[in-house]
Amino acid sequence: MSAQSNASENSLQHRVAFIGTGIMGGPMALRMLQAGYLRSYWNRSVDRASALRDGGLTMAHSPAAAAFGARLICLCLTDGAAVRDVIFGPNGCIDGCDSGAPPLIVDFSTASPLETKQLAEEFRARVGGSWLDAPVSGGAARAAQGDLIVFCGGVLRDFEAAQPVLKIVSSRATLVGDLGAGQTIKLCAQLIAAPTIVAIAEAIAAAAANGIDSRKIPDFLAGGLADSPLLQLFGRRMAQGQLEPRLGALATMLKDIDLAVDMARRAGSPTPLGALAAQIYRVLVNQGRGGDELNTLLELFDGCAYKQRRLDP
């Protein structure tokens, strides 16, 4: 390990704040606490922070209080609007930042590249701080294992400064380009994932309708061209009616795919499959199902059988 790496790690000991300790942020923040980096945290819902509280760290009373004294502020929030609110809103992080030693923001949230750039520019203009967009892929289980994939956008200096925490939460973190590029890559990933999960639901339903035990579909297709981590994960959960542990909500995927379609449209790139997938997710979200797990998409194609599987022992 280089002297520079050691210095970076030592400078962040007990100097990291984490804002947004939900399904993804909670296990990420807990890993940072266990590694001795987490100084403070804040979340809108107190009950989402029980593991950190049990770990001996009391939640700050506001984002500003959490940011006070932090050298690095991690965010894992719903969208760009939530990021803006916790940074620049009443009692926001900016009120707790020291302009004499401005912190680095590492934003694990998924938002639009354009909004990310705007937020970073405003943060730099107001307190002189730096920004690294770092959306993640992998789900809550991999977050707990420190096995996420992180797509980073920003300058090399900030990417290197964030290495101690990136190593704690990920198996691979890549600097993919300038500020906003991390968000671009994450949204491209969602352009692949969102339609694929719909296709998996169609296939599981079609197999069941033709007398095949759909629980065996992931095994039957394993190793073939149609196989994928998404099939093995969501296909099994759909076929078995499994809802726990939670992996993600319909409304969150709809938010991401809408952002991805808009990002592509602004650049003049068509996304017919992405747009169609968005409308399919929107059907359930408009029914008030936005908080449901992604695998409940199967109900659109095989509702009765899916509900029965959830009831079976």
Q: Is the whole model's pTM more than 0.85, yes or no?
A: yes
Q: Helix 250-266 and helix 113-127: axis angle, to 10°?
A: 90
Residue 309 has pLDDT above 70, yes or no: no
Band (pLDDT 50/70/90 cuts) for residue 4 is: low
Residue 126 has pLDDT above 80, yes or no: yes
Among residues 32, 104, 109, the alpha carbon closest in space to that of 76 is found at 109
Q: Which CATH number fits domain 184-311: 3.40.50.300, 3.40.50.720, 3.20.20.70, 1.10.1040.10?
A: 1.10.1040.10
Of all residues in the chain, what percent carry a pLDDT higher than 70?
93
Distance CA 257, CA 195 (A): 9
C-alpha–C-alpha distance, residues 75 and 106, integer Å = 6
How many CA atoms lie within 13 Å of 60's alpha carbon, on the beta-carbon side? 26
Burial (Cβ within 10 Å: 0-12, 13-18, ≥19) of residue 180: buried
Contact 106, 134 (CB under 8 A): yes
| Tens digits of residue pLDDT in 64-84 | 999 999 999 999 999 999 999
CATH top-level class of 3-177:
alpha beta
DSSP 8-state secondary structure symbol assigned to residue 61: S
Whether residue 216 is predicted with pLDDT greater than 70 in this model: the reply is yes
Q: Is the pLDDT reported for residue 255 higher than 50?
A: yes
> In the predicted model, is pLDDT for residue 284 greater than 80?
yes
- Report the C-alpha gap between 66 and 53 in whole angstroms: 14
Domains in the chain: boundaries? 3-177, 184-311
Tokens of 277: 């997938």
